[in-house]
Each structure stands twice: as structure tokens, then as C-alpha cells.
């Protein structure tokens, strides 16, 4: 006759098997009570946008850098422009579907002909920064600083869940680098984004 210890072990095994079968029957562990699907941010908006310098390419400040963290992405770099007086615009487009673990965005910075913009600020969802500097005969660059703020997305649950954000930067229509922050096993590589096109439009002024 089985001992009490043996019956307890068998009962424990039956319960464990039942839980395993139930878990396998679910589409995701995140559907269990106490779990949630941690996703990347659903929204990325322009928080700050300013021009720092403008003029001949060999005279403009050559500092470039960026950071990502604490819900913000910042970048300082230069963009080629038709003149030092050219206004700049920046817009953000989401290129991943809602609820994606890896949120992907395209940030497009463009330098326009002088007169295309007249004031710094945000208009029609685009941030525009302009100056009245004169144009020269040399190749011209404008140094700018952009700060983007992340919003939305699902918070983490009881256990860690893969999530992240990847941002492709375009300057005057050309792919110009990428910023990403992901958790394993997501792939934060930017190689596939050089020719990406926006699919889900997203508001940018904020």
C-alpha cells in the first residue's frame, strides 16, 4: 500500500503536469494572471529641437553624439544644407505595428531652402528650427540637437519580457544611422532599416 509520502509526491506531480498542460495551451505565458506583455513605447515625440551652429562644413562644430535612456533619446550631429540660413524640420513616424515588443520608428531631419520656414517651433506635427545666418559659397552644414520622448507601451509584468525600441535616423531622405535599446532575445540591429518605409503614421509634436 502506497505510503502517505508517495501519495503526496504523486499528487504534486499530477498538479505540476496539469499546470504545464494549461500553460502550453495558452498562446503566451503573458496571458496568465499576474503576467503582462512588456512592449516597447507606442509613441515617440519631439521634445526639443534646436540648431547649434551653421556655416562652412570645415568651420561648424564637429561634435556628434547621442544617448538613449530614461524614456528619452537625444542626438547631436550635423546635416548638409543648401545654405546656413536653411530651416530644419524633424518628424517622427512609427514603422512597427501597435503592441510590438520591438517598437521601431523613423526620424526624418530635412534641411530646406531658405524661406521655406520662418520661425522655430512646431507646426503641423513637424518641429522646425530656422536662423537668419547668411549663406556662403562653401559646402554648408548645420549642427542640430534633437531630443525625443518615449510614451506608451505595456509595463513589465511578474517576469521579465523581451522589449525594446529601435530608431532609424534619416537626413535629407538618406539613412544616417540608428539608435536602439533592446532586451534579449530581440535583435536591435539596424541593417534592415536603411530602406524602410513608414507604415503606421504617428504624431510628432509634443
Same domain, yes or no, for 28 and 51? no
Same domain, yes or no, for 129 and 173? yes
Q: Where are the beta strands (DSSP E) in 23-85?
A: 43-56, 65-69, 72-81
Same domain, yes or no, for 53 and 123? yes
- How many Cα atoms within 13 Å fall on the side-chain side of residue 67? 4
Same domain, yes or no, for 102 and 148? yes
Same domain, yes or no, for 182 and 105? yes
- pLDDT number for residue 93: 94
| Structural domain total, the chain | 2
* Angle value at C-alpha 54, between 48 and 55, nearest 5 degrees: 170
- pLDDT number for residue 153: 77
Is 205 a domain residue?
no
Same domain, yes or no, for 28 and 66? no
Q: What is the dihedral of CA 172, 201, 104, 158, to 10 degrees?
A: 160
Same domain, yes or no, for 28 and 104? no
Is 171 a domain residue?
yes
Same domain, yes or no, for 62 and 25? no
Is 59 a domain residue?
yes
- pLDDT number for residue 160: 61
Is 198 a domain residue?
no
Is 125 a domain residue?
yes
Same domain, yes or no, for 49 and 15? no
Range of the domain at 19: 1-32
**Cell output for 110:** 530635412
Is 201 a domain residue?
no
- pLDDT number for residue 111: 95
Query: 87 near 130, Cβ under 8 Å?
Result: yes
Stretches where the chain sits below pLDDT 50 are 15, 19-34, 116-126, 130-136, 198-206
Cβ atoms within 10 Å, residue 50: 14
Is 78 a domain residue?
yes
Same domain, yes or no, for 28 and 117? no
- pLDDT number for residue 23: 43
Same domain, yes or no, for 24 and 51? no
- pLDDT number for residue 105: 94
Cβ atoms within 10 Å, residue 7: 11
Same domain, yes or no, for 85 and 27? no
Is 202 a domain residue?
no
Amino acid at each position: 500500500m502506497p505510503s502517505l509520502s508517495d501519495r503526496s509526491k504523486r499528487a504534486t506531480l499530477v498538479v505540476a503536469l496539469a499546470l504545464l498542460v494549461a500553460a502550453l495551451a495558452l498562446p503566451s505565458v503573458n496571458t496568465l494572471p499576474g503576467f503582462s506583455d512588456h512592449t516597447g513605447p507606442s509613441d515617440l515625440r519631439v521634445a526639443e529641437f534646436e540648431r547649434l551652429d551653421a556655416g562652412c562644413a570645415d568651420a561648424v562644430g564637429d561634435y556628434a553624439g547621442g544617448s538613449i535612456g530614461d524614456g528619452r533619446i537625444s542626438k547631436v550631429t550635423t546635416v548638409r544644407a543648401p545654405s546656413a540660413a536653411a530651416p530644419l524640420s524633424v518628424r517622427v513616424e512609427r514603422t512597427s505595428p501597435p503592441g510590438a515588443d520591438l517598437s521601431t520608428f523613423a526620424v526624418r531631419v530635412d534641411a530646406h531652402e531658405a524661406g521655406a520656414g520662418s520661425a522655430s517651433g512646431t507646426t503641423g506635427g513637424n518641429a522646425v528650427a530656422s536662423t537668419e545666418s547668411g549663406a556662403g559659397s562653401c559646402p554648408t552644414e548645420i549642427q542640430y540637437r534633437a531630443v525625443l520622448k518615449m510614451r506608451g507601451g505595456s509595463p513589465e509584468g511578474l517576469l521579465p519580457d523581451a522589449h525594446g525600441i529601435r530608431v532609424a535616423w534619416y537626413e535629407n531622405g538618406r539613412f544616417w544611422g540608428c539608435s536602439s535599446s533592446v532586451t534579449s532575445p530581440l535583435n536591435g540591429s539596424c541593417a534592415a532599416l536603411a530602406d524602410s518605409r513608414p507604415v503606421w503614421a504617428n504624431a510628432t509634436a509634443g
